[in-house]
DNA sequence: TTCACATCGTATCAAATGCAACGATTGTCA
DNA sequence: TGACAATCGTTGCATTTGATACGATGTGAA
């Protein structure tokens, strides 16, 4: 018999929405970007010339969700779009100087929030937790 | 410098949406209910006479989201609504026989999915993971 | 080459969502 | 008691979302 308080999908979902929402409090009002936009920025901060398709595959955000987030970031001057020379179907994305500066402001705030969110765990537990999440995220047969 | 592949809110979110989506594949098409509706049913399966307010508080689903899910379940004959005698602002919810029967069909499927999703972990790791998630979910400061 | 098919990003449109406001009810405190 | 504030569930409305279709481009086999 299912008990919600012991049902992993339920618990992980509650944890995830809390982490997303609390993190959004850190950047949403202050920098005027939404959760999907933040996710795009975060990905562009470390993958150069990544495409919409790749962000979609990495984040499980819908293709059109990514496309729209990119469009808003583009018109806000935070992201540049450039049709790939190799495959003209692809759009290569990268942060503008302005976008990178915004990321560099959010970066320490995000890391501080993560530390705070994990502060209930000891360093050992934190390592365990990361390792277990990694295992669960690894593609299954 | 933030690295997404080590950033807990990001990883936990990816895990959570995979768990939600894959679980929904188990019940959505077969039983014709949405994710919010499933969540309401699951809560009603173990809390009797719970109110919209309480489901909202427990699940972090928006009040109106819960209200609308309940309305659909009501007109589908899966849930009954009854104004509380103690506080007439409250609506006491409970599964109908039909609703309970549906839950009892989904129940083993949900548990089987959970086992499958956690199959990458050893029994020990699974216990650790549950304990760590509980710690992280405990209200902070 | 050519033609059928796959892939990428965007646009379209119905449905879902979140926020704020509302009516109804209850609580508070002067 | 009475007036005002708070709470509950619902609804209206603007926005967001996801599924699908589309045009443009690329791929592969005949």
CA of A87 to C1' of C1 (A): 21
Chain B interface includes A112 (CB < 8 A): no
pLDDT at B118: 97
The answer to whether the C-beta of B94 is closer than 7 A to strand C is no
Quick one: pLDDT at residue B60?
83
Average pLDDT, chain B: 94
Output residues with Cβ under 7 Å from nucleic strand D: A 34-36, 61-65, 68, 87-89; B 51-54, 56, 63-64, 67-68, 70-71, 81, 87, 89-91
DSSP string for residues in chain A? ---GGG-HHHHHHHHHHHHHHHHHHHHHHHHT--HHHHHHHHHHTTSTTB-HHHHHHHH---HHHHHHHHHHHHHTTSEEEEE-SS-TT-EEEEE-HHHHHHHHHHHHHHHHHHHHHTTTS-HHHHHHHHHHHHHHHSPP-
List the single residue in A13, A107, A128 with the smallest CB-CB distance to B19.
Answer: A13
Size of chain B, expressed as the number of residues it contains = 141
Does residue B141 register a pLDDT over 60? no
Q: What is the pLDDT of residue A86?
A: 93
Q: Which long-range contacts (CB under 8 A, 24 or more apart) does B46-54 make?
A: B46/A3, B46/A4, B48/B94, B49/B84, B49/B92, B49/B93, B49/B94, B50/B92, B50/B93, B51/B84, B51/B90, B51/B91, B51/B92, B51/B93, B52/B91, B52/B93, B53/B90
**pLDDT of A140 above 80:** no
Q: What stretches of B6-107 adopt beta strand conformation (E)?
A: 79-83, 91-95
pLDDT band at A60, cuts 50/70/90?
A: confident
Residue B140 pLDDT: 66
- Which of the nucleotides lies closest to A53 (Cα–C1')? C8
Q: pTM to 2 decimals?
A: 0.92
Tokens 């992280």 found at: B136
């Amino acid at each position: 018999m299912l008990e919600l308080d012991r049902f992993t999908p339920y618990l992980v979902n509650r944890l995830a929405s809390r982490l997303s929402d609390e993190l959004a409090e850190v950047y949403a009002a202050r920098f005027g970007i939404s959760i999907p936009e933040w996710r795009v920025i975060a990905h562009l901060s470390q993958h150069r010339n990544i495409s919409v398709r790749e962000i979609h595959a990495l984040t499980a955000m819908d293709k059109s969700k990514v496309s729209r987030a990119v469009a808003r970031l583009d018109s806000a001057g935070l992201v540049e779009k450039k049709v790939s020379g190799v495959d003209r179907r692809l759009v290569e994305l990268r942060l503008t100087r302005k976008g990178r500066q915004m990321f560099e402001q959010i970066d320490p705030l995000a890391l501080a929030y993560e530390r705070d969110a994990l502060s209930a765990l000891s360093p050992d537990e934190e390592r365990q937790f990361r390792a277990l999440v990694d295992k669960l995220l690894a593609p299954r047969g």
